Amino acid sequence: MSQATDTPAALSRDALFSGVKPVEERHKVDEAKLAAWMQANVAGYAGPLEVFQFKGGQSNPTYRLDTPAQKYVLRRKPFGKLLPSAHAVDREFKVISALHAAGFPAAKTYGLCTDDSVLGTMFYVMENVSGRIFWDGALPAQTPAERSAIYGAQIDTLAQLHTYDPDAIGLGDYGRPGNYFARQVERWTKQYRASETEHNAAMERLMEYLPRTVPQQERVSVVHGDYRVDNMIFAPDKPKVLAVLDWELSTLGDPLADFSYFLMLWHMPASGKGAGSSGIAGLDLKAAGIPSIEEACAQYCKLTGRSSIPALDWYFAYNMFRIAAILQGIAGRVRDGTAASAQALETIKRIAPLADTAWSFAKKAGA
Q: What pLDDT does residue 55 have? A: 81
Looking at this protein, which amino acid is placed at residue 27? H
**Do 63 and 51 touch, CB atoms closer than 8 A?**
yes
Q: Give residue 84's region: left, alpha or beta (phi > 0; psi -120 to 50).
A: beta
Radius of gyration over alpha carbons of the chain, in Å? 20
Cα separation, 62 vs 47, in Å, equals 19
Other Cβ atoms closer than 10 A to 192: 26
Q: Give residue 282's region: left, alpha or beta (phi > 0; psi -120 to 50).
A: left
**Do 2 and 131 touch, CB atoms closer than 8 A?**
yes
Q: What pLDDT does residue 345 have? A: 74
Residues 6+ apart with CB under 8 A from 42: 72, 110, 111, 125
pLDDT 10s digit of each residue in the chain, 367 long? Answer: 444 333 333 334 454 456 888 998 888 999 999 999 999 999 999 999 999 998 865 567 899 999 999 999 999 988 765 545 556 889 999 999 999 999 999 999 999 999 999 998 999 999 999 999 998 999 999 999 999 999 999 999 999 999 999 999 999 999 987 889 999 999 999 999 998 888 899 999 999 999 999 999 999 999 999 999 999 999 999 999 999 998 988 999 999 999 999 999 999 887 644 444 578 999 999 999 999 999 999 999 999 999 998 889 999 999 999 999 989 988 888 777 766 566 677 778 889 999 999 999 999 999 8
From residue 48, alpha-carbon distances to 1, 38, 70, 117, 323 in Å are: 21, 11, 11, 21, 41
User: What sections of 109-178 are H helices per DSSP?
Assistant: 116-119, 144-162
pTM of the model: 0.85
Cα separation, 121 vs 39, in Å, equals 19
Closest listed residue to residue 275, CA positions, set 347, 203, 352? 347
Cα separation, 360 vs 316, in Å, equals 10
Cα separation, 39 vs 67, in Å, equals 12
Cα separation, 138 vs 151, in Å, equals 10
Residues 6+ apart with CB under 8 A from 71: 64, 65, 128
What angle separates helix 313-336 from helix 201-209, to the nearest 10 degrees? 130
**Do 90 and 80 touch, CB atoms closer than 8 A?**
no
Closest listed residue to residue 177, CA positions, set 115, 125, 287, 251? 251
Q: What pLDDT does residue 3 have? A: 40
Tell the CATH superfamily of the 8-127 domain.
Phosphorylase Kinase; domain 1 (3.30.200.20)
Backbone φ and ψ of 66, nearest 5°: -105, 130
DSSP annotation of 24: P
Residues 6+ apart with CB under 8 A from 102: 164, 169
**HSE, side-chain direction, 13 A CA sphere, residue 127:** 17
Give the angle 89-91-93 at the CA atoms, nearest 5°: 70
Q: What pLDDT does residue 304 have? A: 97
**Do 164 and 102 touch, CB atoms closer than 8 A?**
yes
Cα separation, 174 vs 95, in Å, equals 8
